[in-house]
Amino acid sequence: MEKAIPEELDFLEKLNTEDRERFFNMTEEEKRLTISENKLAHAEEKVREENAEMNQLTDRIASKSFQG
């Protein structure tokens, strides 16, 4: 069974060999910054998805209340 990597490191799977090598050659501070940026991007995407779901729910409730 393959061990899942943390969400904030999932971008490593998408990197080509050259980019992966560049990441592993970064300083520890650069790696932390890159991981933090990716973590923030994940959080922002999650909020956007939640907002979209909430908007859909609100639209459904509003349309049903206007239907009588």
pLDDT digits (tens, 9 = 90+) for 9-66: 778 888 889 988 999 999 999 999 988 988 898 889 999 999 999 988 888 888 876 6
Q: Is the model's pLDDT at 67 over the cut of 80? A: no
What's the pLDDT score for residue 63? 84
For the record, the structure tokens of 56 come out as 């859909």
Distance CA 6, CA 38 (A): 11
What's the pLDDT score for residue 48? 92
What's the pLDDT score for residue 2? 59
Q: Is 2 helix (H, G, I), strand (E, B) or coil?
A: coil
Q: Is the model's pLDDT at 3 over the cut of 80? A: no
* Global pTM exceeds 0.85: no
